[in-house]
Structure 1
C-alpha cells in the first residue's frame, strides 16, 4: 500500500524532514511510560492515605448504630443547638455569602469532616434514599462508591493527553511554563475543597432557614443544585485532572533528571524547580487527607444515589432481572395473539425476591 511508505524514503523524495526524529520518538515513549507509572503511583497513594482517614469514620458508624438502638422519645430542639449548625455558622453570619465562602476555604485545612457532619449527612442520605432501612450501612456503601470512582481516576483520558501536548508546545525559553502551570492543580484543588465544604454549609443553611426548631434528629435534604453545573460528577473530573497534572509535573522532573541531568537547560533554574516539587507534595497531602474524604461523603448529598448502594450480588441480580424483563417483553409481543401471559409460581417467587432486594431504597437508579 502506498500509505505504508517509509518515512525516510518519503523525506528523500519530497525533500522534507520528519516532525520527530527517531531519538525524539524514543524519548517521548519513555516519558509517556514514566508519566503513566507516576500517575498510577500517585493515584494509589492518594487512595491509600485518604482511605485510611475514611476508615476511621467506621467507628462513628458503629457508635451511631448503638445510639439508635437506645434512643428515647424525641424532643423539640432549637435548630441552633445542633452541633452541625453551630460548627458551620459559629461566628459567621448565615446571610453573609462572602464570610461563608471564606469559612469554607479555611475549614478544609482542619477537621474537614467532623462526627456531627458525618452523622447528619448519613441521616440525610438514609431518610432521602433508604427511609425503610434506618440501619443501612452508609460507610460500607460510601467506600464501595469511592473504589468505583477510583477506577476511573487511574485511567488517562484523551483530553488529558491534549493538555500535555499543549503545555509541552508552550515550553518556550524564558516563559518558565512548567513553573506557572504547577500552580494550576493547587488552585483547582483549593477551589474543589472550598466548594465541598460550602456544600455542607448550604445543607446546614437550608435547614436553619426553614426551621427554628426540630423534633428529633436534624435531617438535611440532599440535592444536585448545590454542586457545580448541578452535577456531583464534575468534582470527580476535576480531581482526576488535578492528580494527572501533579503526576505530569513530577514525572517531567524525573524524566529530565535521568535523561539530560540536573544541569541541563531543559531542567530550568533551581528557584523554579524547588517550588514545583514543594507544590507537588502539598497537593498530594492535601488531596489525600482533606479533599478525597470530603469528596467521598459530600458527593453522596446529590439527588440520586449510585449503583454501589446494592451489594455486588444484588447488582448482578438486578442486571439479570432487567435482561429477563426485556426478553419477556419481546416474547410477549410475539405471542400477543395467544392471550394474556400467565406467571407460574416460580416466576412470581422470583419477582418477589427481586422486589424485596430493591425495597431497601425507594428511588430508581439514575441513568
Structure 2
C-alpha cells in the first residue's frame, strides 16, 4: 500500500488502474460540459425573450465560475509549495477556532480508535500482506514530514487547504443561489403590480387628471396614510411608522399610483402613457447583474470574518446581526422616503387641483445618492449567504457536533435570522427598492429601450471622436448631435415648468 507519512490509504496515480482514472475523468468532464451547456442554453433562452439584463447577469455568473476555476487551479498547483512553508509551532497556538482542549480530546479519540483497529485480526492480516509485498520499509526520518524534520509545523496542512478550497466554492454557489432566489421571489411580488398599471391605463387612458376638482391635501388618501401630522421637525413618529410599515403592506396601490405619477410628471410629462411598471422591471433586472457577482471588497470581508472566528468570541453569532440590522435600516429608510414625499406636499400646499403630484429628489436618500441602497442590499445578500454557506460547510465537512460549529443556542438563532433576512428582502425590501429608488432626481438608463440606448451611445462616441480629431467643426457637430438628441428626447421626457404646476393654493409657512 502506498500510504505515505500522512497516513492516508490508497495508491498514487502510478499504481491506480487505468479504468478507474478513465471513469473518474469521464464523470468530471461530463458534469462540466453539462453545466456549460445548461448555462449556454439558458443564455440563448434569455436572448430569445429579449431579457438582455438577465442575460448579462448570467454572463456575470459564468465569470464567477471561471474565477472559481482559477482559484481551484491556483490552490492545486501551489498546494505542495504551501504545505512546505514551515513555521514554529508556537505561532499556531493563538487565535484558534477551537480550543486546545478540544484538539487533545479529538487526538485522544483518534489514538484510541487507531489502537482498536491495530489489534484487530483484519488489520494484522493486512499488515502481514503488506510486509510480504514490500521489500523496503520507510525509516523514521522518512515517516516524518518536511517541516517535522526541521522541528516546525506546516503553515497549512493539505487537509485544511482542501477544506478551504471547498468553502470558497460553497460560498460562491450559495451567494449566486440566494441572489437568484431573492430576485425571482421579489420579481414575482413586483409583477403583481402589473394590474395596477393596467387599471390606470384602462381608467383614463394613462392621462393624469390635473384639471378636475380642488382637493384639500389633508383629505387626500395618500397624505392621510403617510403623513404623521406632527410636522417635519418631529421625525421620530415617522421613522417608527416606517420601521413597522416594511413588515406589512410595504407598497400599496395608492403608493404605486402616486409615485408613478410623480415620476411621469417629473421625467416624462410629454408621455403620460409611459409604462412605469415595465421600466421598473427593466431597471431591477439591470441592477441584478451588479448584485449577483462577488466584488473584491466582499472577499476582503470574508477574510476579516474568518480572521475573527476565534474560540469563545462567538463571532459568527454576532456577525449574523449585521445584515439583519442593515436590512431593517434599508427598509425603514425606503419607507421613510415615501413619508418625506408626502410631508413635502402637505407642508407646501393646503389644496391642489386634480391629482396629487410628489416631487422626486435625491435629497431624500442617504448622502443624496440612491445607489447606496443597492450597495447595501448587495452586502446584505452576500453576508447572509456567507453565514448559511459557513454553516453547511461545517456541517458536511466536520459534522454538527464539531467544536467549530458552536453551541446549539448560537446556531439556531443564526439560521432563523438567515431565513428571516431572505424572506423579508425578497417580499418587502426588494420591491421597495425597485419603486422608491425611482424617486431620485435622475431617471435610470433602463428608461430607454435597447435601440435608443445604442443610438445615444453612438451619438456620444461619434461626437467625441470628431472632437478628439481636432475637426474644425467638431464642436458644432457635437453640439448638433446633442441638440438633436435633446429635441427628440425632450418630446418624450419633459420636466414640468412653474407655469405647468397643478398646485393652486400654497400653504402658509407658519401653518401647522
Establish whether TM, by shorter chain, passes 0.5.
yes
User: Helix, strand or coil: the match of 1:203?
Assistant: helix
Higher Cα radius of gyration: 2
Q: Which runs of 5+ in 2 are unaligned?
A: 1-77, 87-145, 496-512
Shift of 1:327: 2.8
1:349–1:202 CA distance, 2 compared to 1 (3 A): closer
1:97–1:134 CA distance, 2 compared to 1 (3 A): same
1:16–1:360 CA distance, 2 compared to 1 (3 A): farther
Question: 1:200-259: per-residue Cα shift (whole Å, max 9, x none)?
Answer: 000000000000000111111111111111101111111111100110010000000000
Aligned to 2:268: 130
Aligned to 1:151: 289
**Distance across 2 between alignment mates of 1:243 and 1:267:** 22
Question: 1:20-75: per-residue Cα shift (whole Å, max 9, x none)?
Answer: 23322221111011001001111111001110110011111111112223859511
Aligned to 1:98: 236
Aligned to 2:419: 281
Aligned to 1:204: 342
Q: Report if the CA contact (8 A) 1:232-1:299 is conserved.
A: yes
Q: Which runs of 5+ in 1 are unaligned?
A: 343-347
- Return the TM-score normalized by structure 1: 0.88
Aligned to 1:58: 194
Q: Report if the CA contact (8 A) 1:317-1:354 is conserved.
A: no
Q: Report if the CA contact (8 A) 2:222-2:255 is conserved.
A: yes
**Distance across 2 between alignment mates of 1:309 and 1:234:** 20
**Distance across 2 between alignment mates of 1:47 and 1:340:** 44
Aligned to 2:34: none
Question: 1:305-346: per-residue Cα shift (whole Å, max 9, x none)?
Answer: 111110011101111111122233345x3456xx9989xxxx
2:499 pairs with 1:361 = no
2:322 pairs with 1:190 = no
Deviates more, 1:68-77 or 1:25-34: 68-77
- Return the TM-score normalized by structure 2: 0.64
Correspondence list, 1:291-310, <5 A = 291-310=429-448
Shift of 1:9: 6.0
Deviates more, 1:154-163 or 1:200-209: 154-163
**Distance across 2 between alignment mates of 1:184 and 1:75:** 49
**Distance across 1 between alignment mates of 2:165 and 2:408:** 27
**Distance across 2 between alignment mates of 1:224 and 1:353:** 25
Correspondence for 2:464 among 307, 318, 326:
326
**Distance across 2 between alignment mates of 1:361 and 1:329:** 27
**Distance across 2 between alignment mates of 1:115 and 1:181:** 37
User: Helix, strand or coil: the match of 1:212?
Assistant: strand
Question: 1:89-134: per-residue Cα shift (whole Å, max 9, x none)?
Answer: 36x5344311111001011111100111111111111111111111
Q: Report if the CA contact (8 A) 2:264-2:271 is conserved.
A: yes
**Distance across 1 between alignment mates of 2:342 and 2:427:** 23
2:259 pairs with 1:121 = yes
**Distance across 2 between alignment mates of 1:353 and 1:8:** 62
Q: Report if the CA contact (8 A) 2:83-2:158 is conserved.
A: no
Aligned length: 352
1:354–1:282 CA distance, 2 compared to 1 (3 A): same
1:225–1:15 CA distance, 2 compared to 1 (3 A): farther
Indicate the structure whose relative CO is greater, using CA pairs within 8 Å and at least 6 residues apart: 1
Aligned to 2:175: 39
1:6–1:357 CA distance, 2 compared to 1 (3 A): same
**Distance across 1 between alignment mates of 2:246 and 2:475:** 60
Correspondence list, 1:10-49, <5 A = 11=86, 18-49=154-185
Correspondence for 1:109 among 247, 254, 260:
247
**Distance across 2 between alignment mates of 1:212 and 1:134:** 25
Aligned to 2:22: none
